[in-house]
């Protein structure tokens, strides 16, 4: 197994924040009035709903975005069960025994091509790689997944209470997915937070990983090793104290998107236009790509909170890993 490591700059916090519902209730007096209200509500146009999204919206948005990819592909919901065999821990089983699914996209490739498994970053999903799929599929059998709790995958209640449990949420669910797909000897690529998960998985299950590629990995170093001056100064201010409190309260960027309701899509569109336009390198997104990506990103962010709640358990304020990769690799 080959391990490529790189340091993470202090700008990770702003990137992760960017890359990163309440529903109205009314009192009812009879079941028929409740049914009537629900039926009427379902007929409302999406723009009038507080959070104009649903699982169907995610699936449809993914399909539209992937229509830009020329390589043929297959989408499947891989059943990973309700937890590891014999497991009784709530961090994976959530509050029910319902089966979990990992949304998986496999691209057509030449026979005997090496298998490349791609894992997305925080607040993202496999569709973020849409511009990379064609080039990679010419050399590899590309399999891209949505991690448990993100994208089109199952979104069980997040009940983790520690860093160890949170890491296990992602590592163990990925291992159950690997077993279901009967994979071994594959190349594992992880981007940003996905790099952190991929590296931790490779350390725990090195026998399955032929090569490990980390693209801009998060969680490489600890705060004590980096000692960012800007973060130290920020923490000394009342603004820093507020941000730190929000972080420890697990206030995620996705909550802002949900809270804005019908104005959320516009905020996400502004972000994607800036992030993948003025602030990007190389060829910027064209109008169609920008529109489809913005729509896809919005629906994946506005859906039920699940995997996103890992943030405060994996990182301290400033996006510094509580259990850095460097320390694990050195051991």
DSSP 222-281: -HHHH--HHHHHHHTSHHHHHHHHHHHTT--HHHHHHHTGGGHHHHHHHHHHIIIIIT--
How far is residue 144 CA from its own chain's centroid?
12
25-29, 145-149, 264-268, range with the lowest pLDDT: 25-29
The stretch 26-36 carries a mean pLDDT of 34
pLDDT at residue 22, as a whole number: 32
Asked if the model's pLDDT at residue 16 lies above 60, the reply is: no
Q: Which domains does the chain have, with CATH numbers?
A: 50-321 (3.40.50.1820)
**Euclidean distance between CA atoms 101 and 153, whole angstroms:** 6
Beta strands, E only, 82-170: 100-107, 115-119, 141-145
pTM above 0.85, yes or no: no
pLDDT at residue 279, as a whole number: 66
pLDDT at residue 328, as a whole number: 75
With contact defined as beta carbons under 8 Å apart, do 21 and 52 qualify? no
pLDDT at residue 88, as a whole number: 62
The stretch 289-296 carries a mean pLDDT of 95
Considering only residues 226 and 272, tell me which one the structure prediction assigns the higher pLDDT: 272
Asked if the model's pLDDT at residue 45 lies above 60, the reply is: no
What is the band of 330 on the pLDDT scale with cuts at 50, 70, 90?
A: low
Joined tokens for residue 127: 């569709």
Asked if the model's pLDDT at residue 21 lies above 60, the reply is: no
Closest CA to 69 of 94, 104, 97, 105: 105
**Across the chain, what does the average pLDDT equal?**
82
**Euclidean distance between CA atoms 275 and 62, whole angstroms:** 19
16-30, 146-160, 226-240, range with the lowest pLDDT: 16-30
Asked if the model's pLDDT at residue 76 lies above 80, the reply is: yes
What percentage of the chain reaches a pLDDT higher than 70? 77
What is the band of 12 on the pLDDT scale with cuts at 50, 70, 90?
A: very low
Considering only residues 162 and 21, tell me which one the structure prediction assigns the higher pLDDT: 162
With contact defined as beta carbons under 8 Å apart, do 198 and 214 qualify? yes
Most confident of 54-68, 80-94, 238-252, 315-329: 54-68
**DSSP H or E run through 320:** strand 320-321
pLDDT at residue 54, as a whole number: 86
Output phi, psi for 173, to 5 deg. -65, -35
**DSSP H or E run through 170:** helix 163-181
């Amino acid at each position: 197994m080959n391990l490529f490591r790189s340091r993470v700059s202090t700008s990770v916090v702003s990137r992760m924040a960017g890359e990163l519902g309440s529903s109205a209730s009314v009192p009812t007096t009879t079941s028929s009035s409740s049914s009537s209200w629900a039926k009427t509500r379902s007929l409302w146009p999406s723009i009038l709903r507080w959070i104009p999204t649903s699982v169907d919206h995610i699936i449809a948005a993914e399909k539209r975005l992937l229509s830009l990819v020329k390589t043929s592909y297959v989408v499947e919901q891989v059943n990973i069960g309700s937890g590891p065999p014999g497991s009784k821990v709530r961090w994976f089983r959530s509050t029910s025994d319902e089966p979990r699914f990992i949304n998986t996209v496999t691209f057509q490739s030449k026979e005997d091509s090496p298998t490349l498994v791609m894992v997305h970053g925080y607040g993202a999903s496999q569709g973020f790689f849409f511009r990379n799929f064609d080039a990679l599929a010419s050399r590899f059998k590309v399999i891209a997944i949505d991690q448990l709790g993100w994208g089109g995958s199952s979104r069980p209640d997040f009940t983790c209470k520690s860093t160890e449990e949170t890491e296990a949420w992602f590592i163990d669910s990925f291992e159950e997915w690997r077993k279901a797909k009967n994979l071994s000897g594959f190349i594992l690529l992880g981007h940003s937070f996905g790099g952190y998960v991929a590296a931790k998985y490779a350390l725990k299950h090195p026998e399955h990983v032929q090569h490990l590629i980390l693209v801009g990995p998060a969680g490489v170093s600890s705060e004590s090793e980096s000692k960012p001056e800007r973060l130290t100064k920020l923490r000394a201010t009342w603004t820093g104290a507020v941000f730190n409190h929000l972080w420890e309260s697990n206030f995620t960027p996705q909550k802002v998107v949900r809270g804005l309701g019908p104005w959320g899509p516009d905020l996400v569109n502004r972000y994607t236009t800036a992030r993948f336009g003025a602030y990007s390198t190389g060829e910027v997104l064209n109008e169609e790509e920008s529109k489809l990506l913005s729509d896809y990103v919005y629906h994946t962010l506005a859906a039920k909170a699940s995997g996103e709640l890992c943030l405060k358990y994996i990182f301290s304020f400033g996006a510094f890993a509580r259990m850095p990769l460097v320390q694990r690799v050195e051991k």
